[in-house]
Chains A and B, each alone.
Chain A
Amino acid sequence: MNLEQIVLTALIGTSLLFFFSRLFQIVRAIGKGTKEKWTDHLGTRIWNVIVYGIFHRKVYKEKSPGLLHSFIFWAFFFLSFSAVEIVIEGYIEGFRLPLGPLNGPLYLAQDLTALLGIIGVSMALYRRLISKPQRLIREGNKAPTGLLPFIPIVLVSLFFVNAARIMEDGEAAMASWRPVSSIVAAGLSGAGLSGIAPALESSMWWLFVVVLFFLVARFPYTKHSHPIFAFFNILFRSPKPIGAMAPIPPEKMDSPGVHSVYDFSRISLVNAFSCTECGRCAENCPLHADEAKTDPTHLNPMYLMTRLKDAILSKGHPVEASRGLAADGGIPATQDLFVSVLKPEAVWTCMTCLGCVDACPVMNDQVSKVLEMRRRLVAKGEVDAGLQRALQSLDRYGNSFKGTPKARTKWTRKIPTPIKDVRKEQADILWFVGDYASYDARCQELTARTADVFLRLGINYGILHDGEWNAGNDVRRVGEEGLFGKLRDHNIETMKGCQFRDIVTTDPHTYNTLKNEYSKTNGGRVLHYTELLEELLRSGRLKPARKLSYKVTYHDPCYLGRYNGIYEAPRNILRALGVDVVEMARNRDRSFCCGAGGGRIWMEDIQQEKERPADSRVREAAGLQGVDTLVVACPKDYVMFVDAVKANGLENTLHVKDLIELVEEAL
C-alpha cells in the first residue's frame, strides 16, 4: 500500500470507528429497554416504511420542507453508491461498480439528484438563515445550520471530480450520463482551466472523502442518526388504532407504567434516535410549546424526545449527574424519568390531543410515553388534587360530577316523551349519552335537542338510564387503568343484556373508547352522531326543511379527527344544511385542542400557562371574516369554548353552537 492508501485507510478507519462505536453505544443502551412484539401486520408495517420512510409522505404536510428534504434524501441515496465506488478507487485504480448496463443510469441519477441536493440545501439554509420559521428557531439553530454547508461541499466536490475526469477523457468518464458534471466541465474548459484537471481531480477527490467521512463519523452523534433509525422506527410502529391504549401487561401489574428510562420498551426508545428535532410536534402542541423551555418542568414534545435521548445514554442533567443522586427506587437521577425527562407536574399537563404524534414525520409516539409515566404516578398515589376528586367520584358514583347515579337521567325531564330503557326493551340504536352530556347543566340542553332530533328523524333508540357509567376514555388516559377496567367491565356487562344494532354517542371521547377499547358486545358498529346523521343524509331520511344561511367555522374535535379520522362527515352535514363553512388555518389534522382532554378538564389550571388553548382557539375563530358561529361536535368542546368566549369578551362576536343545534334548526 502506498502512502495515499495508508492515509485513506486511516481516515476511513477512524471515521467508521466513531460511527460504529456510537451506533453500538446507542443500540446497547436501547437494548436495556423491555421487549415488545412488532411482527404483527408485517405487510402494513413494510408498506408504512415505503410510504413514510422512503417517500416521506408526512414530511410533505409542509410543501417546501417536504420537497427540500426529498431532494437531499435522494441526493444522499445515490451518493452512497458513488461513495463506495470512490473509496474502492482509492485502492483499485479506475474501479467501477460492476453493474453492467446500470452504471450509466446510476451516474445519471447521481448527477441529477446531486444538483437537486444542492438546491435542497440552499432552500434549507434559506429557511434557517433568512425566513426563520418559529419551529426551527425554537430548537436552536446552530448545530443543524453548522452541518448543512458540509453537504453541498460533498456534492460539489463530486461534481468537480467528475468534471475533471470528463475534461481528461469524456468517454471514459461516461460524460453522456453525467449532464450536470459535463456542464461544469464545459464551463471550466471554456474558462481556459483544462490544465488544472488532474490537480482538481486529486484535490476534490480528497475533499470529497474527507468531508464525507467526517459527516459519517459525526452524524450518529446528532439528530442525523435519524436516517438510520427512522426506518426501523416506522417499521416498529404498531398499525393498531392509536385510539386503543395498550393494557398493562400482567407481569407489570404491581408496578405499572415507567419510572426508569429503561422501563420503556426498546421500540419506544428508538423514538429518541429517530427524532429529527424538526419541532413540528411542538408547533402543534396546545401547551404553546414554542417557547424553547427545555427543562423537565415543561412538557414540550420535542424536548421530551431529546431529554429522553440523553436519559437513555445516561447523559442527563449535568448537575444531577455529578451529584450521582439516586432518585427513589435507587434509580440514578439521569435515568429517572421524573427527574431528568419530565417532572410530575408537567406529566399532568398533556391533553392527549395527538397533535404531536400526528405531526411527527418519523412516526414517534410522544403521548404514549406521557401516559406510561402517568400510570406510574397513579400507582404511587401522586395525583393532582382536582384529578383525585374526579377519580374518587368516578369510582363511587360512576361519573365525575359527584352526582348520584339517579341524576344521570335528569336531562330527560326536558323531553315530553319517555325515552326507551335499552336494558328492558329492544332498540335499533343504543345511545350511550356520556357524562358531560348528562350531568353538565350547559350540555343537558344540547342532549335534549339531540333527543328531539332523533325523535323527529324517527330513530328507534334507547339509553341505559342510570345503568350507564362514564365510558372511561379519560380515566384510562390519566393512568388509572384499574378504574378504567372497572368502568368498562360494568358498561359491557350492562350492554350485554341489551338488544340493539349499533351504538351512537355525541361525545368523541366516549366514541373513541367504545370503538377502540371495548370488546364488541354484539358485533354492531360504534358511531359518532355525525356519522349517523351523514348516513341518514345519504339515504334521504334526513331532509333539511330549510337552508340555513350562516357563515360558520368548524372545530375538529381531537378524538373524532386525529384519533379516528372523521373530518368530512360533519362538514358534509353542514354543507347539506346550506351553511357556508369557512376553515380556520388550523383545521382537520391540524385542529387545535380545546384543552379539556387527557383528564385536564378535571385538573387544576396549569400554573405557568401563558394562554389557555380554548382562548387561542376562539380568538382564531373570531378572527375569520364574516364568521359569527363556531360549530362543535363534542360536549367538552362546547363547555370549554363557551367559557372561553365569555372570558375573552366575545359574546357578541362569536356564538358557540353544537352541530345538533343547526340540524334541529334546519329540520
Chain B
Amino acid sequence: MKVAVIIRQVPDVVEELVIAEDGRSLSEDDVMYITNELDDHALEQALILKGRHGAHVAAYGIGGSEARDALATSVAKGADEAVYVPLEFKDRGDNHKLAMHLAAPLRDGGFDLILSGMQAVDELDGGLGGILASRLSIPYVGGLLGVDMATGAGKVTVKKAFAGGRIGIMDVASPAVLGIQSSEQPPRYVPVNKVMQAKKTLQVKEIRTSVPDVVGLCITQLQKPETGAGAKMLEGDEDNVASSIANLLKERGLL
C-alpha cells in the first residue's frame, strides 16, 4: 500500500500575528511557521497504517525551508520518502494553487491513499483534500477519525465524525484522498537526536512546478477581530477574581 501525506507549514498562532502594511496579509518577516496540526495527525495516521500493514509512506513537505525540517521530522518518525514542494509566501494558504502543484506528481506516484489534515489555520478556500481529489478524479471523504484497510481489496474503511459525537462508517475505494481530523493515536514523539540525524542524512526529492495565478478569492483586509462586544476582563489575584465570579453567579441565580 502506498500512502502520500501532505504536510503544510502554517503560521504559528502561539506567536503574535503581525499584519503587513498593506493590511491584507501577514508580515512575511514576522511569521513563524509550524507544521499544520491536522497534517501532523495525517502523518500519524499514515504511520499507523505503515505499522499495521507495512504501507510505504511518502511525506510531501509544503512551504519554505522550514518544510525541509518538517520532512526530516517525518522521516525520523518513519516516513519512507521525502518530497519537498517549495511554495512562495504569497501562495501560502491557497489550496487551489497547491492542488495544481501536487496533482501531477501525486498521480504519477501511484498512491493508494493521499492523506492530509482536513483543514489548516491559514486556508480560506475550502479544504485541500476535496480540491485535490477532484483534480485527480478520485473520491474524497473528510473529517476522519480513523482509517484502516477494508476486508475487500482496494478499499479502505473510514470513520467520519458527524455532529453530536456520531460516527459514520464508510468504505472508500482506493485510490482516494482522505481528510484527517484526528489520528487514532495522538501523534508520536520522536527524539531530537533522531531528527538531527535525519536532517543530516535526509534525501529529498524536490518538485518545482510553475502554476498560473488563479483569480477568484481576493482578500481585501486582515484585522484583529472587533473586540467591542468582547468579555469584561476581571482584574486582581485569584481571590478577587474568584469572588467576582462567584458573586456574578449568585446574582444570576446560578448558585
Contacts and interface: CB of A to CB of B under 8 A. Distances in A.
User: Is A–B contact present in the complex under a CB 8 A cutoff?
Assistant: yes
Interface of A: 253, 256, 378-379, 381-383, 385, 388, 391-392, 395-397, 402-404, 406, 480-483, 485-486
A403 B192 contact: no
Nearest to B186: A385
A403 B189 contact: no
A396 B69 CA distance: 12
B103 interface: no
A402 B14 contact: yes
B253 interface: no
Most buried by A among B34, B188, B189: B189
A256 B188 CA distance: 19
Contacts of B16: 404, 406
Interface of B: 14-16, 34, 77, 186, 188-197
A256 B193 contact: yes
20 contacts: A253-B197, A256-B193, A378-B191, A379-B191, A379-B193, A379-B194, A383-B189, A385-B186, A388-B189, A395-B192, A396-B34, A404-B16, A406-B16, A480-B191, A482-B191, A482-B192, A482-B194, A482-B195, A485-B192, A486-B196
A355 to B, nearest CB: 28
Contacts of A379: 191, 193-194
Contacts of B34: 396
A559 B180 CA distance: 45
Contacts of A404: 14-16
Given A381-B188, A385-B186, A482 B14 contact: no
A481 B195 CA distance: 12
Nearest to A254: B197
A482 B196 contact: yes
Most buried by A among B16, B194, B197: B194
A256 B15 CA distance: 34
A435 to B, nearest CB: 16
Interface of chain A, main secondary structure? helix
A480 B190 CA distance: 10
B14 A481 contact: no
B50 to A, nearest CB: 14
Contact of B193 (A382, A388, A392, A482): A482
A480 B193 CA distance: 8
A271 to B, nearest CB: 27
A274 B67 CA distance: 53
B75 to A, nearest CB: 14
A381 B193 contact: no
Contacts of A483: 191-192
Nearest to A396: B34
Contacts of B14: 397, 402-404
Nearest to A382: B189
Given A385-B186, A396-B34, A404-B16, A486 B192 contact: yes
Contacts of B186: 385, 388
A402 B194 CA distance: 22
Contacts of A481: 193
Nearest to A391: B189
Contacts of B197: 253
Contacts of B193: 253, 256, 379, 481-482, 485
A482 to B, nearest CB: 3
A381 B189 contact: yes
A485 B193 CA distance: 9
A191 B197 CA distance: 85
Given A383-B189, A404-B14, 19 more contacts: A253-B193, A378-B189, A378-B191, A379-B193, A381-B77, A381-B189, A382-B189, A385-B186, A388-B186, A388-B189, A392-B189, A395-B192, A403-B14, A404-B15, A404-B16, A406-B16, A482-B192, A483-B191, A483-B192
A391 B15 CA distance: 18
A116 B156 CA distance: 80
Contacts of A385: 186
B65 to A, nearest CB: 16
A390 to B, nearest CB: 11
Nearest to B196: A482
- 5 tightest CB-CB pairs across the interface, nearest first? A482-B193, A482-B192, A483-B192, A388-B189, A383-B189
Nearest to B34: A396
A602 to B, nearest CB: 13
A391 B194 CA distance: 14
B199 to A, nearest CB: 11
A622 B189 CA distance: 41
B30 to A, nearest CB: 11
B128 to A, nearest CB: 24
B10 to A, nearest CB: 14
Most buried by A among B77, B193, B194, B195: B193
Nearest to A487: B192
A395 B194 CA distance: 13
A485 B197 CA distance: 13
A381 B191 contact: yes
A480 B15 contact: no
Nearest to B193: A482
A480 B188 contact: no
